[in-house]
Amino acid sequence: MQGALLELVSFDVDGTILRGRILNHLRIPKESHAKIEALHDLFHQGRLGYEGTLRAQFSLLAGMRAHDIAPHATDLPLINDLHPTIDRLSLKGVKTVILTDNPSFVVEPLRVYGFEGIIASEIEVQRGILTDRMEILTNKLQAIREYCTEEGIEIARCAHIGDGFNDIVAFKGVGVSVAFNSHEDGVSEAATFTVRGNSLLDVYHVLEPHLPTRA
């Protein structure tokens, strides 16, 4: 990274700061959960594409009220020490954001842990009701670049933490990348660092040499 200190750290959600997938914690009928899971299985069987899977899953939410089905942050099975990690980064003057292909309203409750921004897929909401119109976030590098441009941050001063195949493209573009508890092929190989553990503070300690020093 040639001495550049980090100004922003982005975090994936599913499998990274959350144990499992956040869509499983939507407050929706069991039959809707079953349909979402069936689409997930089709994707892993190679019978449905990445974007098509997300679009089909999110379309199942059309007609529901976003506020009513969003998960409660306190009910989510989060990785240990999420809040202390975000606090420590904030004390160093580093901005923290969520970078995910999940809908923004689904991950919005995670702001309570100190995240300053959310970069996510968007589902249109009319009078509080979700529609079937959406913009799917499939390229995390493009999304973080656009965010950095708006914030006046160089991409080399960004770090991304993730565990999935869709994090690889971001790993290749940011200054520092961490594959955290990844079990997918090629993810660890694409990252600057690989970390396995039950605490997000393990990731913080890897990032620490690249953080600004504050008194």
Domain boundaries defined on the chain: 8-21+76-210
Round to whole Å and give the CA distance between 117 and 130. Answer: 21
Round to whole Å and give the CA distance between 200 and 205. Answer: 9
**pLDDT tens digits for range 75-111:** 999 999 999 999 999 999 999 999 999 999 999 999 9
The whole-number average pLDDT for the span 111-117 is 97
**pLDDT tens digits for range 2-32:** 457 999 999 999 999 999 999 999 999 999 9
Give the CA radius of gyration of the chain: 17
Q: How many CB atoms lie within 10 A of CB 38?
A: 12
CB 155 within 8 A of CB 148: yes
pLDDT at 152 over 50: yes
Mean pLDDT of the chain: 96
Q: In this predicted structure, what is the pLDDT of residue 3?
A: 55
178 strand-pairing partners: 161, 193
Higher pLDDT, 185 or 80: 80
The whole-number average pLDDT for the span 55-68 is 98
- Look at residue 52 and give its three-state secondary structure: helix
Round to whole Å and give the CA distance between 98 and 209. Answer: 22
CATH superfamily, with its number, for domain 8-21+76-210: HAD superfamily/HAD-like (3.40.50.1000)
The confidence band for 38, taking pLDDT boundaries of 50, 70 and 90, is very high
**pLDDT tens digits for range 190-214:** 999 999 999 999 999 999 999 998 6
Specify the amino acid at residue 120.
A
Q: In this predicted structure, what is the pLDDT of residue 192?
A: 96
